[in-house]
Amino acid sequence: MTLSDHAKKRCQQRGISPDLILVLEALGMEICQKGNSYVLQLDKKTQRSLSKRLKSLLMQVQKNIFVVISDDETVITAAHKH
């Protein structure tokens, strides 16, 4: 997804990170508007679920975990680094 200069400026002014835009792109629901455009937003159920999942993910990130990946991009194993 490409951001216009206007969108970049507004995101910077409003504290909206590029990562959040990626989340909206991946999980957001599309609401059509006139003028061949649409709005991406998270519904309340998705917001709550994502919040819980992110809290859990943050705890896992802090545990120094790694994965081993094959040439064909298959995850072979995952473990904690000691």
pTM of the entire predicted model: 0.68
State how beta strands 75-80 and 65-69 pair: antiparallel
42 and 24 Cβ atoms separated by less than 8 Å? yes
71 within domain boundaries: no
In this prediction, residue 60 carries a pLDDT of: 87
In this prediction, residue 62 carries a pLDDT of: 87
69 within domain boundaries: no
29 within domain boundaries: yes
51 and 42 Cβ atoms separated by less than 8 Å? no
In this prediction, residue 61 carries a pLDDT of: 86
Cα 77-66-1 angle, rounded to 5 deg: 100
15 within domain boundaries: yes
Domain count, the chain: 1
In this prediction, residue 81 carries a pLDDT of: 87
Domain that holds residue 30: 1-42
68 within domain boundaries: no
2 and 18 Cβ atoms separated by less than 8 Å? no
Q: What is the pLDDT of residues 27-81, one digit of tens each?
A: 999 999 999 999 999 999 999 999 999 999 998 888 889 999 999 999 999 998 8
